[in-house]
Amino acid sequence: MVADFNALKVGIASPKGSRITQHTSLGWRLKWRVGVPTGDDAYSLEQSVISWWRETLAAGPAYSKKDMPQWGSTETVSWDATSPTETLDYVLQLAGSLNVEFSATPSEDIHLRPALPATNRRTGRSRRGRVTSADLTLF
C-alpha cells in the first residue's frame, strides 16, 4: 500500500519491477507490502480490499480518473475511511482464511499520514507489460 496526504492506494507489483518506485517518485509513500506466491493470489487480495472499501466501508475512490491520468484511481480510498494498519490487518486476516502463503512488511511510518498529496502526474505513459513472475507483491 502506498499513501499520500489524501488517499491510500493498493496495487500489485513484481518485487523486481519498478511500479512501486514509479509511485514513490510521484510523492506516494510506501506503507506496507505483502509478498504472495502467485499473481492470482495478489489479484484476489487486491480485489477483496477494494470490495471491502466500497461495500463494507461504503467508501468511494479518493481520486478520479482525471486526478490520476496514468492509472489506479479506482484503487484508492480516503484516509477518512480507513488506515494503512486497518487495511493491512484485513489483508492478513483474509490471506490466512484463504490459506494464501504471505510475508508482510509494514513500513516504520505505517501510522503516519504523509504531509503532501502526490503529484499523480508523469511525463509520458509507460505501458504495463504482462507480469510473468510467480512471486508478486501486493502493496
3-state secondary structure 13-39: ECCCCCHHHHHHHCCCEECEEEEECCH
pLDDT tens for each residue of 55-114: 999 999 999 988 886 688 999 999 999 999 999 999 999 999 988 889 999 999 999 999
Q: Could you list the beta-strand ranges (E) of 1-127.
A: 2-3, 7-9, 12-13, 29-30, 32-36, 76-78, 103-106
Arithmetic mean of pLDDT, 110-125: 76
Tell me: pLDDT of 134 over 80.
no
Cell numbers standing for residue 122: 508523469
Cell numbers standing for residue 56: 463494507
- Report the C-alpha gap between 103 and 83 in whole angstroms: 20
Cα–Cα distances in angstroms (integers) from residue 87 to residues 6, 15, 32, 33, 67, in the given order: 16, 20, 10, 11, 23
- Report the C-alpha gap between 1 and 111 in whole angstroms: 12
- Report the C-alpha gap between 73 and 76 in whole angstroms: 6
**What's the pLDDT at 68?**
81
Whole-prediction pTM: 0.85
Specify the DSSP class assigned to residue 66: T
